[in-house]
Amino acid sequence: MLAQRVITAIVLLAILVFALSVQSKWPLLIFMSLTVAAAAYEWIKLTLPNRQSLAWMISVAILALTLYQGWLWQVEPPAIWSIWHVCVTLTAVMWLLIIPTFTLLVKSTKPLQSWALFAPICLFATWGVLGLTWIQSGAWPLISLLTIVWIADIFAYFGGRQFGRHKLAPTISPGKTREGALIGIAGVVLWMLVSSQWAGSYAADVLNQWGFLGLVLVGGLLGSVSVLGDLYESLLKRCAGVKDSGRLLPGHGGVYDRVDAVLAVVPVAFLLVSDFWYR
């Protein structure tokens, strides 16, 4: 299992490095479109396990929509308001206000069918933030944003193994601890403080708009949202009665398993530094 995880991680890293190193924007845009399409299929399967044809339809629709959007954004900049802006705003509001309470209070033991509606909205919003960042600003802002999720995951995993004593949400994800979550959040705050000193990073943008205290608070918020994204997917899997969202990535499970926190953090992070919603 460990060998599979390492090999899969190396292959994915090689694809990412290649896509980021070429001049054309298309390799990374295509890679991200395939990623959200696969995540869409797995998300719909978790919530509507008997509607495989619908899962395929939504997956293909997300793939086509994101590729078209990627082409359109390279032809002309996005309008001040668009369907994508609405999706980003709605997704961020869901992660900040609705999903935290729902995730902690729901007692269902059956697939959460109504949450299939949220899948295409969240996936399109997340792809749009990453795609537009890549098209307009290049690799560094994109990587500095994604590193927030990677830091939260790594710090929480090793912090939980070393210091974990109290379960965070035992009925949803027994392996996660409060100590691990807090260490993951602290890791994000530390990353925000360090990377804010590097021009062009996401944290530098936050520091410029929100100041030092705002930087710390945003780091804590995004670290918390990262944990929430993981818990939410664990809840969907628990209600569906499965361990992994899929089997596409040997040693890792499904694509959704790997991007669950990204789908939560990225729209919220974008909303915190973008002014499109009050222009």
**pTM of the predicted structure, to 2 decimals:** 0.94
Element (H or E) spanning 173, and its range?
Answer: strand 173-177
Looking at residue 91, its amino acid is: T
Q: List the Cα angle 227/7/240 in 5-degree steps.
A: 45
pLDDT of residue 174: 85
Q: What residues contact 228, with CB distance under 8 A and at least 6 apart?
A: 95, 99, 100, 103, 264
- In whole angstroms, what is the distance from residue 83 CA to residue 101 CA? 27
Q: Are the beta carbons of 115 and 248 closer than 8 angstroms? A: no
Among left, alpha and beta (phi > 0; psi -120 to 50; other), residue 250 is beta
pLDDT of residue 2: 53
Identify the segments of the chain with pLDDT beneath 70.
1-3, 5-6, 80, 251-252, 276-279
pLDDT of residue 185: 97
Looking at residue 154, its amino acid is: I
Q: Are the beta carbons of 146 and 122 closer than 8 angstroms? A: no
Six-digit token string for 201: 């990073």
pLDDT of residue 181: 94
- In whole angstroms, what is the distance from residue 201 CA to residue 187 CA? 17
pLDDT of residue 80: 66
Burial of 210 (0-12, 13-18, 19+ CB in 10 A): middle
The residues facing 249 across adjacent strands are: 253
| Domain range for 200 | 2-278
- Number of domains, the chain: 1
pLDDT of residue 275: 76
